[in-house]
Amino acid sequence: MTRDEALTLYRPIRAGIQRTLKAAVESCSDADVKRAAKQLGVWCNGRIEVPNETAIDMVSDLALFEPNQRGIRAYDRCLLDHRQALHKADLALAQQMASARFSLFRILRRHDLAGVWVDDVINPAESIWVLDQGLEISAPDGLEFGLRIFNAGDFTRALGSWSPLTRRSRTSVREP
């Protein structure tokens, strides 16, 4: 596979992810969003107070993919209740996205074709090829960050935004 072939596969998946997440977030309940904002510590005076768009993306990610107190994810409800609202081509992708997992990763190096090689800091196994042009362009080797990923076939894709670990956030992660 060449870089152009990899990016030709990547671009429609990226667009499908964006369409799917937009539709899914619109189906989140107020309770889902409030729960996520409280978990992130950005719920203040009865509203969400965040410094930037990345923080809103993180609230949306938690609202969609983290189970509520009954163990139900808003994303799964969206797939069940709003299947017809998704583009037909996005339905299979949306189902793949349901298996996404969040972890902490470290960038090892650039991939020869596109994207980056990462290691899962919490669950070390094999290195993972994450095809994401944003990470490829802006994230330096060695960066540790939080990200939700899923298997998109030939490569792994990032879902939503990534957040670098700060010295403070690194020390708050404890080993069992």
| pLDDT at residue 170 in the model | 44
Q: How far apart are CA 118 and CA 115, in angstroms?
A: 10
pTM of the model: 0.83
Q: How far apart are CA 110 and CA 132, in angstroms?
A: 11
Among residues 70, 64, 79, which one has the least CA distance to residue 32?
64
**172 pLDDT above the threshold of 50:** no
Q: Which residues, in sequence order, are CB contacts of 114 under 8 Å at separation 6+? A: 3, 6, 7, 10, 131, 133, 136
DSSP strand pairing (116-120 vs 144-151): unpaired
**In the Cβ-directed half-sphere of 86, how many Cα atoms lie within 13 Å?**
24
Q: Which residues partner with 158 through β-bridges?
A: 149
Work out the number of other CB atoms within 10 angstroms of the CB of residue 134: 12
Region 10-21 average pLDDT = 92
Confidence of residue 57 (pLDDT cuts 50, 70, 90): confident
Among residues 81, 145, 136, which one has the least CA distance to residue 110?
136
- The string of pLDDT tens digits covering residues 67-81 is 988 999 999 998 888
Which domains, and CATH codes, for the chain?
3-97 (no CATH), 101-171 (2.40.50)
Region 16-34 average pLDDT = 89
Q: How far apart are CA 21 and CA 32, in angstroms?
A: 15
**In the Cβ-directed half-sphere of 51, how many Cα atoms lie within 13 Å?**
2
Cβ contact 97:136 at 8 Å: no
What is the torsion angle, in degrees rounded to the nearest 10, for the CA atoms of residue 31, residue 34, residue 36 and residue 37?
180
Instruction: Give the lowest-confidence range in 47-56, 90-99, 147-156.
Output: 47-56
Among residues 7, 70, 4, which one has the least CA distance to residue 35?
70
